[in-house]
Amino acid sequence: MHSGLPPFVITIETGFKEFRVNDRSVQNPVTWCGGKDKAAYDVLVKEHYRHVFGVCFAMLANVHDAEDAAQETMLKGFLKMRTLDDIERFRPWIVRVARNLCIDRLRRQSRRKLPVEKPAGLSRQDLDAQYDLEQAIKRLPQELRLPLLMFYFDGRNAKSIAASMNISHSGACQRLRMARRQLHQLLSERAQR
Amino acid sequence: MNRECDKIRDLIADSVTGILSPDQARQLDEHLSGCTDCRNYADALKHEDVLLTQLVAGLDTDMRNRQRRLLEALDRCQSEQRETITKWRIIMKSPITKIAAAAAIITAVTFGVHHFYGSVENVAIADILQPFLTARTATFKVTIGGEGIPPQEYDGMFMEPCRMRHTQPGGATVIVDLEQGKFVTLIPQTMQAVVLEVTNVPEDPGDLNFFREIRNRILKAQPLDDESVEFLGEQEVDGQLAIGYHIRKPGLDGTVWADSETKMPVRMEIREDPMVIALSNIVFNVDLDEALFSLEIPQGYSVTTFRRDLSEPAEQDFVESFRVWAEHMDGRFPSELDRNQVNVFMKYQQEKMKEKGIEPSVDDITQLQQTIIDMTRGFPFVESLPAESDWHYAGKDVRFGDADAPIFRYRPKGSQTYRVIYGDLHVEDVAPDELPK
């Protein structure tokens, strides 16, 4: 006979159960987790974590969820580094991972209402304004919230938003314009209540 | 607000972003000098700009701590257990995984058997094994485990000549009738049926039927001699007092436990490193309704059909499997040739689906399943090669299309030259002293 596989018919009932049949593949990245590679990845974390966090915050509009998602993203990146051919492509690659994870989260999110951290050193009036701002941001559509917040995370750079979102520069500018106008409208509506 | 003011407000927004041209800036200033509403609007947007800047600055105050927490998590990643759990959490959380979970693939997996001869017959164990050889029907529980393998179990049924049914607890039922050349999987939860139509079923198809395979292995291990059978004594097994024997023969490394009094088998364990497959709750010659093995699809089920050629794979099938692999694994070849690679392949495809961020359609999943079936067609070729074929695999770091890099070599039986498969999947005959390093 012709093979060395086990003597039964495996029903791979699930897309993931096959991992359970023999999970050795999952352990492979452990070898990559060696000290040298870990040190190399720490450098990437320091360079890109803030940006990844920004993407997650922009998508999830919640600090705690964003931190969870950013951490999950970077861990996943660590485990999957070997699939990345060109380290120069790390930024767009990890951002794609982050966005996909956030999309997953948004789909299953049970809408926990966690307060956004209050920046220190602000007056009561400023804190109220911040709170209103955060609530309005949450109501912005995803495609506008992402470029708007990334604009502030990325040093007010529309070009980097365009690259990060894989859209044209004029497209990024247009979204920023619409985001500002919609945000203002949402804040005005809030003030009138 | 008139139309001009509306246009101006776009300019106000762009001015806050800092992307106005000098002409636009001039136009804006002119308008603002005469329009209070737009001036107020501009002030409001500037204030919001300040608030947004403060919001991000506030988030930045804790960024260092967040980064530290991440680095700590990465440190923990060096622990294998943590790494696996993390990865599993990622996998388990994905809605796409859940979608994929609704689909079923049947993969027929087979193994090799060998002929060996002994000299001394062991009467006691022969009696114990006899029911496996003569039973018309049997029911049993199959438990699969082993180091690093999460346990699985299902209830199995066998009926002569070559019918089998097994059901995972709360899950799918698989019915196999090799005379009909069909494997049918029924998933009641999702009302799905997956049919695998097999062609070129081997004349001795025991290894496609779990019970028949055990029968074949026992037959081919005959006669059992004292050297290959070790008496394990008497102990309680599955709640019964039982005597046990360990059989060690190439092709059969197993333990059988039988009721101390009746000598009927109560448990059989077969080791296929690293996997251990255990049969328990064994009942022979129980009356089973033929309808249990019906291949008819219940009404209301959606049906997906796959096809698989079960003939012994040849070199060209092997090459084709490499092609399917490379085309679906971004131009890479397997890191090594072992059974686990099927898992690696499937896992990678799922990750790709997940990274697309959209749920795969039924057609996508069906296509993937057929791809997996096609991909697994040729790889058993390597397991049919004897040691003297001197086969060697070197494809790990070779890119698909590299005509100079060899990925596999072997010497066909009776041949003076080697067959060498290269990264572009062309195959050459190469003399031993000219083999690539």
For the segment B372-396, the average pLDDT, to the nearest whole number, is: 84
Which amino acid appears at position A33 of this protein?
C
Each residue's pLDDT tens digit, B396-407: 899 999 999 999
Judging contacts by C-beta atoms under 8 Å, the chain A residues touching residue B252 are none
Tell me which of A10, A11, A24, A33 to substitute to probe the interface with B (most B C-beta atoms closer than 10 Å): A11
Length of chain A: 193
pLDDT of residue B204: 62
Does the beta carbon of B314 lie under 8 angstroms from any beta carbon of chain A?
no
pLDDT of residue B12: 95
- pLDDT band per the 50, 70, 90 thresholds, residue B79: very low
Each residue's pLDDT tens digit, B330-363: 999 998 887 667 777 877 877 777 777 666 666 7
Tell me how far apart the alpha carbons of residues A82 and A40 are, in angstroms, rounded to a whole number: 13
- pLDDT band per the 50, 70, 90 thresholds, residue A125: low
Q: Identify which of B138, B136, B174, B134 has the alpha carbon closest to the alpha carbon of residue B154.
A: B174
* Residue B306 Cα distances to B29, B194, B199, B401, angstroms: 69, 8, 11, 29
Which of B46-55, B120-129, B226-235, B277-286 is predicted with the least confidence, judged by mean pLDDT?
Answer: B120-129
Give me the phi and psi of A118, to 5 degrees please: -90, 130
Please give the angle made by the CA atoms of A15, A18 and A23, to the nearest 5 degrees. Answer: 130
Tell me how far apart the alpha carbons of residues A66 and A54 are, in angstroms, rounded to a whole number: 8
pLDDT of residue B33: 94
Does the beta carbon of B103 lie under 8 angstroms from any beta carbon of chain A?
yes
> What is residue B155's DSSP assignment?
E
pLDDT of residue B142: 84
DSSP notation for B315-383: HHHHHHHHHHHHHHTTTB--SS-STTHHHHHHHHHHHHHHHHTSPPPHHHHHHHHHHHHHHHHHTHHHH
Tell me which of B43, B56, B164 to substitute to probe the interface with A (most A C-beta atoms closer than 10 Å): B56
Rounded to 10 degrees, the C-alpha dihedral A161/A167/A172/A174 comes to: -170
- pLDDT band per the 50, 70, 90 thresholds, residue B196: confident
> How much of chain A exceeds pLDDT 70, in percent?
69
Each residue's pLDDT tens digit, B280-332: 999 999 999 989 999 999 998 888 888 877 788 899 999 999 999 999 999 99
Beta carbons of B56 and A42 less than 8 Å apart? no
Give the dihedral sign, CA B325/B331/B336/B342: negative
Show the tokens assigned to B335: 């890191």
> What is residue A134's DSSP assignment?
H
- pLDDT band per the 50, 70, 90 thresholds, residue B119: very low
Which of A152-156, B25-29, B150-154, B376-380 is predicted with the least confidence, judged by mean pLDDT?
Answer: B150-154
Asked if pLDDT for residue B32 goes beyond 70, the answer is yes
Beta carbons of A22 and B149 less than 8 Å apart? yes
Does the beta carbon of B72 lie under 8 angstroms from any beta carbon of chain A?
no
Mean pLDDT (chain B) is 79
Query: Shortest CB distance from A1 goes to which of B110, B183, B355?
Result: B110
pLDDT of residue B88: 34
Judging contacts by C-beta atoms under 8 Å, the chain B residues touching residue A29 are 83, 87
Q: Identify which of B140, B145, B192, B194 has the alpha carbon closest to the alpha carbon of residue B167.
A: B140
Tell me how far apart the alpha carbons of residues B87 and B96 are, in angstroms, rounded to a whole number: 15
Asked if pLDDT for residue A5 goes beyond 50, the answer is no
- Tell me the nearest-neighbour CA distance from B84 into chain A, angstroms: 6
pLDDT of residue A130: 77
Q: In what order do the strands lie in the sheet with B427-430?
A: B392-393, B406-410, B418-422, B427-430
> How much of chain B exceeds pLDDT 90, in percent?
30
pLDDT of residue B148: 64
pLDDT of residue B217: 82
Does the beta carbon of B93 lie under 8 angstroms from any beta carbon of chain A?
yes
pLDDT of residue B23: 94
Judging contacts by C-beta atoms under 8 Å, the chain A residues touching residue B350 are 15-16
pLDDT of residue B407: 94
For the segment A118-140, the average pLDDT, to the nearest whole number, is: 72
Give me the phi and psi of A160, to 5 degrees please: -70, -30
Three-state SS at B184: strand
Judging contacts by C-beta atoms under 8 Å, the chain B residues touching residue A3 are 109-112, 379-380, 383-384
Q: Identify which of B174, B159, B179 has the alpha carbon closest to the alpha carbon of residue B108.
A: B174
Judging contacts by C-beta atoms under 8 Å, the chain B residues touching residue A35 are 78
Asked if pLDDT for residue B167 goes beyond 80, the answer is yes
- pLDDT band per the 50, 70, 90 thresholds, residue A151: very high
Three-state SS at B289: coil
pLDDT of residue B53: 92
Interface confidence, given as ipTM, is 0.74
Supply the pTM of this predicted model: 0.44
Beta carbons of B92 and A5 less than 8 Å apart? no
pLDDT of residue A182: 94
Query: Shortest CB distance from B346 goes to which of A18, A79, A104?
Result: A18
* Residue of higher predicted confidence among B293 and B386: B293
Asked if pLDDT for residue A162 goes beyond 70, the answer is yes
Beta carbons of B90 and A76 less than 8 Å apart? yes
Each residue's pLDDT tens digit, B58-73: 888 889 889 888 888 7
For the segment B425-433, the average pLDDT, to the nearest whole number, is: 93
Asked if pLDDT for residue B208 goes beyond 70, the answer is no
Q: Which residue of A has its CA nearest to B206?
A: A7
Spacing of C-alpha B180 from chain mean position: 26
Q: Which residue of A has its CA nearest to B106?
A: A11
Asked if pLDDT for residue B138 goes beyond 60, the answer is yes
Query: Shortest CB distance from B104 goes to which of A4, A11, A46?
Result: A11
pLDDT of residue A124: 60
Q: Which residue of B has its CA nearest to A42?
A: B71
Query: Shortest CB distance from A119 goes to which of B54, B207, B330?
Result: B54
Q: Which residue of B has its CA nearest to A37?
A: B78
pLDDT of residue B100: 30
Asked if pLDDT for residue A180 goes beyond 80, the answer is yes
Asked if pLDDT for residue A143 goes beyond 70, the answer is yes
